[in-house]
Amino acid sequence: MISVPKNTPRKRFGFSLIELLLAIFILGIGIISIAALLPAGIRQQQRAADDLIGPIVANNALTLLRSKLKPDDFGYCEVFDYGNWSPNLCDFGQVSGTSNKWPTICGDWMWRRPAFVPSNFGDAANPIDVTLRGAIDIFGYPDANHIAEQWAATAGVPGIPYNKEKFPNEIDSDGIALGDRPPVIRITAAERQYPMWDGDPRVNVNVAYDPTSRDGGKYYWDCMFRRYEQRILVAIFVYRIIDSNETGPYLVDTTNWQTPQLPYYRALVGSSTGAWSAGTNVLSGSETDNPNEPDNHWQSVGQWMVDQNGHIHRVQRGRRRTSDEEVKLVSSPATVMVSPSITNPSVAAPTNVNWWEGASQDPQVIPNPNTPFVGMVEEGVVTDIWYLPISDSLSRTIVPIFATVEEL
């Protein structure tokens, strides 16, 4: 037997450069694969948080609205007789020469957005003025301090009809009416964010006022109202804001607005898609639209919408690019039944569908039960939608989170 001396050095083998490079390459592929999952995980986590918090924010908004508003605060638009509404408003059938192009249930009115206080209202150095910026004034009139939606061709009417019996006109000493006296019911921008701001525009009341010191919320909401079958319905839209410029507390941008723009309104009649029919959730024709235009932001992935009948729709397959295929809804629109006219039982009148004067619509109500109606009175058709745009003029991204319709 040959013995090897203990102090004889042994031959050692190491990794070659090629083996080391291969190991690094394989490790890199694994790390890149894992890293690619992180953004998707973050998005999924945010989506789960939105799905959980959205209904909570909407419920808080409804509670706040109910604390400030009562159903009997709202009135009937026909009591504001400016020559366009009474006595023709409640007639069934089209009335020539009036603003009422649609048959209606007497006393009801279509979705109305509350007036907005402009985002540049007042003096930036005045805490009270800044607090009112971006507030909604439920019954506000269109004037220098309000951006309000008009429901008649004649100026000087409130954006949303109020109860004149509860809030009568001012009367002078001779018993002559001096003018309307709408209730002032405001909900500030701070109250429409979640978590809600406490209302003090200063973080520390002992220091000088700083208009940028207000805490920003993570979620926001806006609303609109409708009178249907003598009930007041409210639609609430919840959303997030992504502001890459971080210009300070979020306010609804009212730059160059003449009418409230949140939620955004879209008349589908005359568009590429046209009215949505019951029985299908694939919207043919939508693939020809540019989804980057505000009128087509309803096509974005996960978008929430409310139609003229108070039904909620959500986009399942949306469009981000012009090359994307047509929009697919989570479910097809619900059928809206019609019932016989009061004045002419042989004619189907939409007594469960309210009046809506769409910008591009001129419905022809044909007195023939065998001829389908056009416009929003057609059975099972969505002609008008309200939704949130996905960006504003300040390049802030708006992320729709949730929408609901509830009775006030």
Instruction: Report how far apart, in Å, the C-alpha atoms of 336 and of each of 89, 354, 364 are.
Output: 22, 12, 18
pLDDT value of position 334: 80
In total, the chain counts a number of residues equal to 408
β-strands 384-387, 115-116 pairing = unpaired
pLDDT at 117: 92
Q: What is the mean pLDDT of the chain?
A: 75
Q: What is the pLDDT of residue 72?
A: 92
Question: Which two three-digit tokens encode residue 274?
Answer: 């046209």
Residue 141 token pair: 């009139």
More confident of the two residues 250 and 375: 250
How remote is the C-alpha of 282 from its chain's centroid?
22
Please give the single-letter amino acid code of residue 193.
Q
Task: Answer with the residue of higher pLDDT: 258 or 328.
Answer: 328
Specify the pLDDT at position 244. Answer: 72
Amino acid found at 208: A
**Which tokens sit at 276?**
């949505």
Q: Which of 25-29, 83-87, 330-334 has the lowest mean pLDDT?
A: 83-87
Rounded to 10 degrees, the C-alpha dihedral 15/17/19/23 comes to 110
In the predicted model, what is the mean pLDDT of residues 46-74? 91
pLDDT tens per residue, range 125-178: 888 888 888 899 999 888 888 888 865 555 556 678 888 888 887 776 665 656
Q: How confident is the model at residue 41, as a pLDDT?
A: 65
The three-state secondary structure class of 218 is: coil
What pLDDT is attached to residue 102?
Answer: 44
Burial of 107 (0-12, 13-18, 19+ CB in 10 A): middle
Distances (CA, A) of 379 to 3, 111, 295, 349, 374: 103, 19, 25, 11, 9
Residue 32 has pLDDT above 80, yes or no: no
Judged by DSSP in three states, 18 sits in helix
Cis peptide before 87 (omega within 30 of 0): yes
Count of Cβ atoms closer than 10 Å to residue 167 Cβ:
15
Are 400 and 387 contacting, i.e. CB atoms less than 8 angstroms apart? yes
Q: Quick one: pLDDT at residue 206?
A: 52
Task: Note the pLDDT of residue 373.
Answer: 41
* Residue 96 phi, psi dihedral angles, 5° rounding: -70, 140
- pLDDT surpassing 90 at residue 77: no
Max mean pLDDT range (106-115, 149-158, 333-342): 106-115
Closest of 335, 307, 331 to residue 317, by C-alpha? 331
196 Rama sector, left if φ>0, alpha if ψ -120 to 50, beta otherwise: beta
Query: CA distances (Å), 173 to each of 107, 151, 168, 176, 178, in order?
Result: 32, 32, 15, 7, 10
What mean pLDDT is predicted for residues 34-50? Answer: 71
What's the pLDDT score for residue 127? 80
Rounded Cα distance between 341 and 356, Å, is 18
Q: Is pLDDT at 63 greater than 90 in this prediction?
A: yes
In whole angstroms, give the CA distance from residue 310 to residue 406. Answer: 9
Looking only at the bridges linking them, the beta strands covering 170-171 and 177-179 are: antiparallel
Question: pTM for the complete prediction?
Answer: 0.78
- In angstroms, rounded to a whole number, what is the distance separating the alpha carbons of residues 392 and 253? 7
Higher pLDDT, 306 or 101: 306
Residue boundaries of the structural domains of the chain: 23-260+396-408, 264-387
Give the type of residue at 172: D
DSSP per-residue string spanning 156-213: S--SS-B-TTTSPPEE-TTS-EEE------EE-TGGGEESPP-S-S-SSTTS---TT-
What confidence score (pLDDT) does residue 46 get?
73
Yes or no: say if 140 and 151 are a contact pair by the CB < 8 Å rule. Answer: no
Tens-digit pLDDT profile for residues 195-241: 876 555 544 545 555 555 555 678 999 999 988 878 899 999 999 99
Least confident range of 24-28, 44-48, 218-222: 44-48
Task: Report whether pLDDT(243) > 60.
Answer: yes
Share of the chain above pLDDT 70, in %: 66
The answer to whether the bond into 161 is cis (omega within 30° of 0) is no
CA 286 to chain centre: 20
The pLDDT value given to residue 78:
66
Summarize pLDDT for 353-377 with one digit per residue, the tens.
434 433 333 443 333 344 444 333 4
Q: Kindly give, in sequence order, each residue whose CB lies less than 8 Å from that of residue 281, ignoring residues fewer than 6 positions away.
A: 316, 328, 329, 330, 331, 332
Residue 88: pLDDT band (50, 70, 90) is very low
DSSP secondary structure of 95-138: -TTSS--S---TT-EEEEPPEE--TT-S-TT-HHHHHHTT-EET
Residue whose tokens read 């079958």: 229
Q: Is the pLDDT of residue 97 over 70?
A: no
**pLDDT at res. 365:** 38
